[in-house]
Amino acid sequence: MTITINRDEVSLNGTKFKITGNVRKTLASVFPEKQVTGDYSVDSDPIASTWGMKNQTAGILLEEFDVGKPEQKYRAWWSTANLSFDGITLPPAATDTGAGGLTSKDAYILIDYDGVTYASLDEYLRSFDNTNDDWNDAVATLAGNPTDAKICLNALMIACDDNGYYYNPKLFIANDLTDGELDIWTDATTLTNWTEDSVGGGAIAREETIVDSGMYAAKLTSAAVGEHAQCYRDLTWNPAYQGKLFQVTARVHAVTTANDADLILDDGTTTVNFSPTGTGAYETVTATMTLAANATRMRIRLRTEGDADGANVVYFDKVQVSYTETTAPLLSNKNEAKYFVEWDDKAFKIKANGQLSYSTDLITWIDNAKLNLPDDYCQGLFIYRDADGTEIIYASTKQGFYALDYANAKFLYTEMALPFTTNAGLGADRWRTSSYISSGLSVYEYTAGVVASIRQIGLDTDGGLEPTYDGVITKLIRGHNQFLYFSWLYSTERVYGGTVDDIGLGWKTAAPPMGREAEDAWY
């Protein structure tokens, strides 16, 4: 028992103790205190419970969490941090690459082609300058704001709706030269993809020993004056090539002297000849030609001609062609095009009225199926498999997916049907084993099969987004370890570079996407 003897003094078991102030009551636990060896942690408190979050890798969209559900521990409603890693780290830095000298312009497309990154700011097409990190390099002024940009048949295709489309055929032309390696022979004296038109006793044969690359070379022999051993290959003709600059290179082995071999370019109105120096070994011959304004073809000819020195024997290998136009690399076509996709070695385009057409030469189009929907219902084209596992074309529309029956030239409505909304289908693509379509902030996963499955996985699940970050998903983009959603509340002329990371267990916030200044992005 404690007895007070004097002021500010107590006696405990006969021993007196000085105190300061009045005696105060406190609740003493009847249980023994936790014994801790070493450093204390947040769990060392003898009374308080703890809830520590060292990361939020489980993602966003959880407005309120239940402490009784451990799986909710590492989630947030919203965060601007990079949630893909342990610890709460800063997001990837975004670099301001300027406005390309323009003001009050919206960014519409962003695409890489042949090592160049292109972006449109309204109708102004610019390329990215990797040295100065800006968009000041003007490429072209389009006839209208672009609606799509895709790589089809190795050509860059830019759709401008009822204003037609633009295309850069550089890599298409390179691919159009079938068997530039001179490796495909019907027999020992007949090239399969080149046409021989030798004169007199000139002859062409398959060479297996004196080869520069690949399996074979072409051996051209002319025995006497007036005899030519020659063959040619015509590129797919496009009148838009008139006035354009082409370059052709070939590896040539001239056994004797210079001018025994000729690399000839022929545009139907004139020809130009280029010859090796005649070193007795393979050397590169480069031929250039600006096609005439009335050109009718682009023909590449390989030739050796007999002369007074006797028989000439030369070898050709690895012929390559390139469209080297730099001042005006884009060609235009007035055919309407709103969206593009490549399938079955064909380029497909769809117009605002739903008419689908295909081409193998980028300029001549053949109609196929037509969407029986009002104008401007189609929001894009992409490739995904059907119930049998065969890859086909899908049209993303304001009321869901339509699958193309190419053989019967018709679109078929799929199980992935949506109620009509103006922003449905803006985001649509395949990723891994499934396809996806957006509607507002909703995203639906559609997995085709004998029995198709549909799952909702969008940004309106769980607690949804904070009202401040509400918007409309306008793009779905595939990545290696992530699937990226963009919700644009506005866009300006600024173009940013950014990166995203592992999808982890849930949706994360991301830096603004390249191509637009976005209010938000998620992955």
Block residue for tokens 């021993």? 15
Extended strands (E) in 268-409:
271-274, 282-290, 299-305, 312-323, 331-333, 339-343, 346-350, 355-359, 366-370, 378-385, 391-397, 400-405
Q: pLDDT, tens digit, for every residue of 124-135?
A: 999 999 999 999
Mean pLDDT of the chain: 85
Cα–Cα distance measured from residue 283 to residue 278, given in angstroms and rounded to the nearest whole number: 8
Residue located via tokens 């959603």: 485
Q: What is the DSSP string of 128-189?
A: EETTTTEEEEEEEE-SS---EEEEETTEEEEE-BTT-EEEE-HHHHHHHSTTTT---EEETT
At residue 26 the predicted structure's pLDDT band, cuts being 50, 70 and 90, is low
Answer whether residue 395 shows pLDDT above 60.
yes
Supply angle C-alpha 415, 420, 425, rounded to 5: 70
Least confident range from 7-21, 167-181, 256-270, 442-456: namely 7-21
Residue 255 Cα to chain centre, angstroms: 47
User: For tokens 């489980």, what's the residue?
Assistant: 58
- The one-letter amino acid code at 72 reads Q
In this model, does residue 29 exceed pLDDT 50? yes
CB within 8 Å of 334: residues ≥ 6 apart: 164
Q: Is the pLDDT of residue 521 over 60?
A: no
Length of the chain: 523
For the cut 80, the answer to whether the pLDDT of residue 506 exceeds it is: no
Range with the lowest mean pLDDT among 49-58, 200-209, 489-498?
Answer: 489-498
Looking at residue 186, its pLDDT comes to 98
Over residues 234-263, the pLDDT tens digits come to 999 999 999 999 999 999 998 766 557 999
Kindly state the tokens that stand for 103: 């003001």
In this predicted structure, the answer to whether residue 282 has a pLDDT above a threshold of 90 is: yes
Percent of the chain with pLDDT over 90: 57
Q: What CA–CA distance (Å, rounded) separates 334 from 166?
A: 9
Q: Residue 348 pLDDT more than 50?
A: yes
Report which DSSP code applies to 50: -
Evaluate if residue 516 carries a pLDDT over 50. no
What is the residue extent of each domain of the chain?
Answer: 174-323
* Least confident piece of the model among 17-26, 137-146, 227-236, 241-250: 17-26
Identify whether the C-beta of residue 105 lies closer than 8 Å to the C-beta of residue 127.
no
Q: What local confidence, expressed as pLDDT, does residue 441 receive?
A: 87
Of 411, 401, 408, which is closest to residue 354 (Cα–Cα)?
Answer: 411
| Alpha carbons 119 and 149: distance in angstroms, whole number | 10
Least confident of 85-99, 265-279, 336-350, 396-410: 85-99
How do 155-159 and 165-168 pair as beta strands?
Answer: antiparallel
Residue range 417-422: mean pLDDT, rounded:
95
- pLDDT of residue 28 exceeding 90, the answer is no
* 3-state class percentages of the chain: helix first, strand second, coil last, to nearest 5: 5, 45, 55
Say which CATH class 174-323 falls into: mainly beta
Q: Can you give the pLDDT at residue 496?
A: 32
pLDDT over 50 (residue 500):
no
DSSP letter for each residue of 78-121: --SSBTTSSS-BPPPPPEE---TT--S--EEEEEEETTEEEEEE
